[in-house]
Amino acid sequence: MKKRIGILTVGGDCSGLNSVIRAAFIRAKNLGYELLGLKRGIRALANDPIDFIKLTDKLCNEDMLTNSGSIILSDTKWMSSTIESGKSIEDIKNMIHEGYKKLELEGLVCVGGDGSLRLINELLIKNENLNIAFIPKTIDNDVNYTDYSIGFQTSLEVVVSAVENIRSTAKSHERAMVVEVMGRDAGFIAMYAGIASGADIILVPEFKYDIEKVKNKVKECFSNGKNYCIVVVAESVEDSDFKHNVENVDGVMKYSHLAYRGIGQHLVSKIKETGIESRCVTLGHVQRGGKTCINDRLLGTLFGLEAINLIDKKVSGKVLLFSENRLKTMNISDVIKSVNKVLDLNNEYVKAARNLGVYIGEI
Ligand code: F6P
């Protein structure tokens, strides 16, 4: 039997996952390994029989560079529902170790976000037998120490293109259009896409805002002859009159996440108090699809190739990172020590937004 490496994608999908899989397949093949695509994330290893596909040249063709989603599927709920069903983290670790042994894997490439990073860290604790390389992916771009995670840059393309479509109708109807974007507790999508699409107001969870100043900025767009206004708001933004329902929709603890909805509509109702017509567009999951942008193809390719190199060299427990134009690695245990990355006042794009006169809150 050929030596085997497994690869899985876990958490919310995004563009660029298939670029990672393709590059990992090519590198694994060149080093004499078979690459197994474990289906639906971590759960594949816990299930009996283990659900996987052997990746082939035919599957991993160049279309993988373009197409979003994950050909090996992804899952966001398995961890929380398994814990809810009464299993402990220890039980889960054992199930996964069993699956890894059963498949006789030489290593595992895990492509995931922050939640999966913490789980993988737990799996590695006191387990020298596992050989794992971790690739950060999330449109939210909130994984620390990397400038970009897979999927973020394509989501910017999608948001910018949507705002451009919305701009023409905003102009025709002389309206204030509020565009609600994803990003969980980080405002990267809102800030970067807002600047790139020329938004007048960008609201992010990192910076508190004054609703009166939002209204004044909207009025200014109508008094200076522009006669329309674009507001980009991140989904998790709150104000004194609007709090998210913190009911835990996915079940349990740190592996679950809350659904954020409604801030866009709330802003519309406030803007209408000025007498200006306003509408909200919530972009939602369109931000996770689309034609993969070139930067995500490049990043996915670098990460996919290097993950296999690490596994081949038996260097386990590393996260792949890209910063200062270089591919880097760091221990998973070190990356998770700090809280998720968010915007701060030193961020060049935050400074740029202020210098452009965009209202981004009271900072
Ligand atoms: O973490 C990625 C993300 O797309 C967030 O931006 C968003 O809040 C969440 O996932 C949506 O999750 P779901 O697909 O479970 O609705």
Q: Indicate the range of 73-87, 222-236, 283-297, 328-342 predicted with least confidence.
A: 73-87
Rounded to the nearest angstrom, the distance between the alpha carbon of 96 and the centre of ligand 1 is 25
* Phi, psi for 270 (deg, rounded to 5): -70, -45
Beta strands in the chain (DSSP E): 3-9, 33-38, 52-54, 105-112, 132-136, 176-181, 201-203, 229-234, 278-282, 318-323, 326-331
* Ligand 1 pocket: which of 17, 75, 77, 139 to mutate (most atoms within 8 A of CB): 139
Has 140 been annotated as catalytic?
Answer: yes
- 258-272 burial: b if 16+ Cβ within 10 Å, else e: eebebbbebbbebbe
| Mean of pLDDT values over 260-273 | 96
User: Which pLDDT value is given to residue 247?
Assistant: 55
The minimum-distance atom of ligand 1 relative to the CA of 183 is: 6
Q: Where are the beta strands (DSSP E) in 80-191?
A: 105-112, 132-136, 176-181
Average pLDDT estimate for 296-312: 98
**pLDDT (mean) for 337-346:** 93
Mean pLDDT of 278-285: 98
Judged by average pLDDT, the poorest of 49-53, 122-126, 212-216 is: 122-126
Residue 244: its pLDDT value, please?
86
How high is the pLDDT of residue 172?
98
Instruction: Tell me what the mean pLDDT of segment 285-290 comes to.
Output: 97
Give the model's confidence band at 114: pLDDT under 50 very low, under 70 low, under 90 confident, else very high: confident
Rounded distance from Cα 249 to ligand 1 centre (Å): 12
Tokens of 161: 């293109």
Ligand 1, CB cutoff 6 Å, lining residues: 12, 76, 113, 138-140, 182-184, 235, 260, 288
User: Pocket of ligand 1, candidates 14, 182, 192: which has the most ligand atoms within 8 Å of its Cβ, to mutate?
Assistant: 182
pLDDT higher than threshold 50 for residue 252: no
pLDDT average, residue stretch 118-128: 81
| Res 257: pLDDT | 58
Tokens of 278: 């306003």
Residue nearest atom 13 of ligand 1, based on CA coordinates: 12
Distance 112 CA to ligand 1 centre (A): 13
Task: Determine the pLDDT at residue 32.
Answer: 98
- Ligand 1 atom at minimal distance to the Cα of residue 236: 8
Ligand 1 centre from 11 Cα, in Å? Answer: 9
Instruction: State mean pLDDT over 93-105.
Output: 94
98, 65 Cβ separation under 8 angstroms: no
Ligand 1 centroid to residue 139 C-alpha, Å: 9
Position 255 scores a pLDDT of: 39
pLDDT of residue 249: 46
* Across 44-53, 242-251, 258-267, least confident range: 242-251
Ligand 1 atom, smallest distance to 259 CA? 8
Mean pLDDT of 210-230: 97
Given a cut of 50, whether residue 254 has pLDDT beyond it is no
CA of 164 to the centre of ligand 1 (A): 23
Closest ligand 1 atom to Cα of 250: 15
- The whole-angstrom separation of Cα 24 and Cα 169 is 43
User: Which entry of 13, 75, 114, 140 is annotated as an active-site residue?
Assistant: 140
Convert the pLDDT of each residue in 147-163 to its tens digit. Answer: 999 999 999 999 999 99
pLDDT reported for residue 217: 98
Residue nearest to atom 3 of ligand 1 (CA): 12
Nearest ligand 1 atom to alpha carbon 76: 15
Phi first, then psi, for residue 146 (nearest 5°) are -120, 140
Q: Ligand 1: which of 141, 184, 188, 261 to mutate, judged by most atoms within 8 Å of the beta carbon?
A: 184
> What's the rounded Cα separation, in Å, for the pair 175 and 353?
22
146 C-alpha to ligand 1 centroid (Å): 20
Query: What's the mean per-residue pLDDT of the chain?
Result: 94
What are the pLDDT digits (tens) for 125-182?
A: 777 789 999 999 999 999 999 999 999 999 999 999 999 999 999 999 999 999 999 9
Give pLDDT, residue 331.
Answer: 95
Q: How large is the average pLDDT for residues 101-116?
A: 94
Whether 360 has a pLDDT exceeding 80, the answer reads yes
Mean pLDDT for 98-110 is: 96
Residue nearest to atom 16 of ligand 1 (CA): 259
Atom of ligand 1 nearest to the CA of 287: 4
Give me the pLDDT at residue 308, please: 98
